[in-house]
Amino acid sequence: MKIILADALTIAAKDLRNELKSKQTSGMMIIFSSLVILIFSFAFDPTNNTVKAIIPGLIWVITIFSGLLGLNRSFISEQENDSLTGLKVAPIDPSSIFLGKVVANLVLVTIVQMLSIPILFLLFDYKFHGDLIWFLLIVLTATIGFIVIGTFLAALAANAKNSEMLLPVLLLPLLSPLMIGAVQATKIVLEQEGITDAISWLQLMAAYDLLFFAACFFLFEYLMEGS
Amino acid sequence: MLELKEITKIIGDKIILRNFSLALAPGESVAVIGPNGAGKSTFFKLAAGLMQPTSGEILLNGEQIKKKTHLLKKRIGYLGHESFLYSALTPLENLRFYGKLYKVKNIEEKGMELLKAVGLHYFKDIPIRSFSRGMIQRLAIARVLLTEPDFLLLDEPHTGLDQEAVSLLNLLIKERQEKGIAILLISHDFEQVIQVCERVLILNKGRVVEDKSIDHQRGLMPFKNWYEAAVSGK
């Protein structure tokens, strides 16, 4: 397991270094999320108090759709020079490729969230009074679930002709339970309602994360074999 | 010793390899030649552990190559049609990455030595996206040699190389062979096959139609004639 983790970190570090140099994916993700926030801030009147109710949903709209851009690229970028074959012939466990990609995607999406969520609050004139620790925990749990299943499906879709179109079609229905939980829990924390309800949603999301992580981790090997 | 025993590979309803057998001893250099679509690259993918045979077995030092045999994979250096390199990274970063995956010790030192050997040390800090086809091929060769494998599987390694680089590659292959590393080469360049290898197999329609030692004294023309006769079945 130690070796799998070390190899995963090597792959994640390579992906992040690659991204740091090209800024191809992160640039697109940041521009996309900023545009979504800007368009929504024009579409809805931020001074209207009822508009505040859409903020939890908006956080996840931005995360999912900008994240999709990054997920799409994570395996397609390995097709250039057939680098994925280079990873497959290397003496590493295929699950370390999956773990490495999950870590790299998680870092990218977290950076986008760290930039876009404060901008969202700012443009919607929203003053955060909720519990920051619970809020961060909810965001992190839901993001992990999204990235785990998204990375697995991105690997699955990468070999298809229209992978950019296939990934959202496969991913969005599977994400529904996680997103219902994420939006509800975020709403509870932002509106400072009883935290016990948020904990129930958090437990649901944690169970989703564990279930899909285990399934994707073990199935990834077969996915690589078939690609 | 790398042994392929009675290998058959069927993809869809097409038989790619039929009862293919080959034994490669340490220090031996064998060329696999044949027309396009003969099954040469599929044979390499099977030997590198990228594919599993439909029937038959592949043994490396007596142990069967399966999906989980990471230690055995470490002993095989595979140079495919593509370079497997990352365009945004520099030559040294690419070698460092693969060196870490293959658990190579003294990566920096070995990486620099190999970059010097393939003539890319002046370009070590430049992202390889600006490199020519030949420079990328040189780096791909350095990547394969970095891991110090016992078996080198080279799929058309001379492609895109200039004359100087071809001589350099042949020299590197010969040096490795003298150290006891076994070489398996796929090439359409018969001149290089004669220079580098001691034995040659002709693969046609998934079958080995000829297997003989190369007579280096006879030269290129008799070799070409022999190949054409073997492939046409005359």
pLDDT for A46-95, tens place per residue? 677 777 788 889 999 999 999 999 998 888 888 888 899 899 888 888 89
Please name which of A106, A42, A119 lies closest in space to residue A74, comparing C-alpha atoms: A106
pLDDT in tens, B147-192: 888 888 888 888 777 888 788 888 888 888 888 888 988 888 888 8
Query: Cβ neighbours of residue A215 under 8 Å, at least 6 residues apart?
Result: none
Those residues with Cβ within 8 angstroms of residue A92's Cβ, 6 or more apart along the chain or in another chain: A3, A4, A7, B70, B101
B19 domain-assigned: yes
Residue B91 placed within a domain? no
The total domain count for chain B is 1
Q: Which of A219, A216, A82 is nearest to A144 (CA)?
A: A216
- Distance CA(A94)–CA(B2), nearest Å, equals 24
B76 touches chain A (CB under 8 A): yes
Cβ neighbours around A172 below 10 Å, total? 13
Neighbouring residues of A25: CB distance < 8 A, sequence distance ≥ 6: A19, A69, A70, A73, A108
Q: Which residues of A lie inside 8 Å of B (Cβ-Cβ)?
A: 7, 10-11, 14, 17-18, 21-22, 80-83, 85-93, 221, 225
Answer yes or no: is B90 within a domain: no
Nearest-CA neighbor of B193 among B162, B214, B164, B179? B214
Residue numbers of the domain that contains B231? 1-69+184-234
Is the CB of residue B102 less than 8 Å away from at least one CB of chain A?
yes
Q: Which residues of B touch A82 (CB under 8 A)?
A: 80-84
Q: How many CA atoms lie within 13 A of B1 on its CB side?
A: 10
Q: Has residue B211 been placed in a domain?
A: yes
Looking at per-residue pLDDT, the higher value among A19 and B159 belongs to: A19
In a domain, B174, yes or no: no
Q: Which of A85, A97, A99, A220 to mutate to test the interface with B (most CBs of B within 10 A)?
A: A85
Nearest to A88 among B50, B83, B89 (CB): B50
| B93 shares contact with chain A (CB less than 8 Å) | yes
pLDDT at B69 over 70: no
Chain A positions touching B70 (Cβ under 8 A) are 91-93
Does a structural domain hold residue B212?
yes
Domain ranges of chain A: 2-226
Q: Which residues of A touch B85 (CB under 8 A)?
A: 81, 83, 86
pLDDT value at residue A205: 94
At B67, is the pLDDT very low, low, confident or very high (cuts 50, 70, 90)? low
DSSP A191: T
ipTM, 2 decimals?
0.86
Residue of A nearest to B90 (CA): A18
> Considering the domain boundaries, does residue B114 fall inside one?
no
DSSP-derived secondary structure for A114-163: HHHHHHHHHHTTPPP-S-HHHHHHHHHHHHHHHHHHHHHHHHHHTTSTTH
Tens of pLDDT, residue by residue over A23-54, are 888 899 999 999 998 888 888 876 777 777 88
Contacts of B102 in chain A (CB under 8 A): 90-91
Distant-in-sequence, close-in-space partners of A124: CB < 8 Å, separation ≥ 6: A41, A44, A46, A51, A52, A55
What CATH number corresponds to the domain at position B30? 3.40.50.300
Question: Cα(B100)–Cα(A27) distance, rounded to whole angstroms?
Answer: 29
